[in-house]
Structure formats: structure tokens, C-alpha cells
A and B are shown apart, each in its own frame.
Chain A
Amino acid sequence: GAGVSQSPSNKVTEKGKDVELRCDPISGHTALYWYRQSLGQGLEFLIYFQGNSAPDKSGLPSDRFSAERTGGSVSTLTIQRTQQEDSAVYLCASNPGIPPGELFFGEGSRLTVL
């Protein structure tokens, strides 16, 4: 596709359930980011992938959060045992990996934990 694609666009789940959020970056973009966007709090960095390098996981808020990037392309963010405070919009972004590059964002996955 022409842009970063994320799915699902909306996810409602019950507390304690696991969720998976998917991101398909722009073809050829080696860098991929996950952010969490909460109202009034800006974008919170979660994890960064660059090519085959070890990801920077320093932003993951707890061990319930994990992410993978298979084949240097599609990424999945997994949240285990969801809590209400996990409710937010999860944004994925990619760029060609040549700093200082522009970030290209997906439309986000809105997660609501009941």
C-alpha cells in the first residue's frame, strides 16, 4: 500500500485479555516505531526496530508489552493481560531509516479495555 497500515483500527477488550496490534510499514522502510498516544500526554515511545539490529525496547511500560518484527517488515505489538490503563491509541510509524528522516504514521489502533 501507499502508506503505513495498522489493524485493527478499533479494539474493545475485557480486562485481562491479550491483544495483538499489527503494523505494515511502507515498503522499503527499514525503521519502524510504536508509540502510545494518550489524551493530553503526547506520544509515548514504546519500541523501535531498525533493519536486523536489536530493537530498542526501552519505552515498553511493563513486561506485559512485547513486539516483534518479522522479516524486517510487518510488526505486531502484543499486550498481555490488558489493564484499563492500557486504553489508548497505538500508533505505528516508519521511515527509510536514514536520519533525520520524516516519520510516516499509520492511522492508529484505538484500544479500549473495559
Chain B
Amino acid sequence: AQRVTQPEKLLSVFKGAPVELKCNYSYSGSPELFWYVQYSRQRLQLLLRHISRESIKGFTADLNKGETSFHLKKPFAQEEDSAMYYCAQRYSNYQLIWGAGTKLIIKP
């Protein structure tokens, strides 16, 4: 079965430190992957998708087909990055499979 795994339920790092949120997906010939973010008291929103190969709010994510990973990285964490992060993989024309989410806490 298709599966998206986010191994860390909680990740806590100091401000200014690098952060990496892990995501592993089930093998698929041409996977389409996303990171969504939910800040406190805000709605869930798209952060970035791998096909765009863009950097949003300093975050990047590289698709590694060999390791079936799509880890989210930022070199210098900021306090406003504290949020819940979800990795998702497209499963069909309209379905996404979601990871369980990682709560990121940036300590001052």
C-alpha cells in the first residue's frame, strides 16, 4: 500500500540552527510530493511541491528517488517556522496520501 512516513512526531531546534524534517514515500515511478504547513491558529496551506523546485520561506526539499525521500530543509531556523508540517504524495488524479505530520518547535 502507498505510504508516507514522517518518522518524527516532534522536532525541536534552536533558532539559527539547521532544520531537516524527514519524509519517506512509497516507491512510484514518477512521484509527486508536497509539503504542507499549519501555523498555530491558521489553516493548512501548501508550502512547496517538488515539481516547482522552488524555495519558500527559506525551505527547500529535494526528491531523492534512490532513498524514496523528500526531506524538508532550512539552513537557519526562525521562530516563525514553528508549526505542524505534513508531507503528502499524490496517489491518483485527485487523491493525496498524507504523513502523520511533524510538529516543529523553534526555541529562542
0/1 interface trace, chain A 42-84, chain B, CB 8 Å (1 if under): 1101001010000010000000000000000000000000000
Number of contacting residues on A, CB 8 A?
A: 22
Instruction: Tell whether, in the assembled complex, residue B93 and residue A106 are in contact, meaning their CB atoms are under 8 Å apart.
Output: no
Alpha-carbon gap, A95 to B90, bound state (A) = 14
Q: How large is the interface on B (under 10, 10 to 19, 20 to 34, 35 or more residues)?
A: 20 to 34
Residues of chain B contacted by A31 (CB below 8 angstroms): 94
Residue of A nearest to B6 (CB): A42
Instruction: Tell whether, in the assembled complex, residue A48 and residue B98 are in contact, meaning their CB atoms are under 8 Å apart.
Output: no
- Whole-angstrom distance from the CB of B25 to the nearest CB of chain A? 13
A25 within 8 A of B: no
Residues of chain B contacted by A103 (CB below 8 angstroms): 36, 46, 96
Instruction: Tell whether, in the assembled complex, residue A48 and residue B94 are in contact, meaning their CB atoms are under 8 Å apart.
Output: yes
Residue of A nearest to B45 (CB): A105
Q: Can you identify 30 A-B contacts, CB atoms within 8 angstroms?
A: A40-B9, A40-B100, A41-B100, A42-B4, A42-B86, A42-B101, A43-B88, A43-B96, A45-B96, A48-B95, A50-B94, A56-B95, A91-B44, A93-B44, A99-B90, A99-B93, A99-B94, A100-B32, A100-B49, A100-B51, A100-B90, A102-B49, A103-B96, A104-B45, A105-B43, A105-B44, A106-B43, A107-B42, A107-B43, A108-B43
A-B pairs, top 8 by smallest CB distance, nearest first, are A43-B98, A42-B98, A105-B44, A42-B100, A102-B46, A105-B43, A107-B43, A99-B93
Which chain A residues have a beta carbon within 8 Å of chain B's beta carbons?
A: 3-4, 31, 40-43, 45, 48, 50, 56, 91, 93, 99-100, 102-108
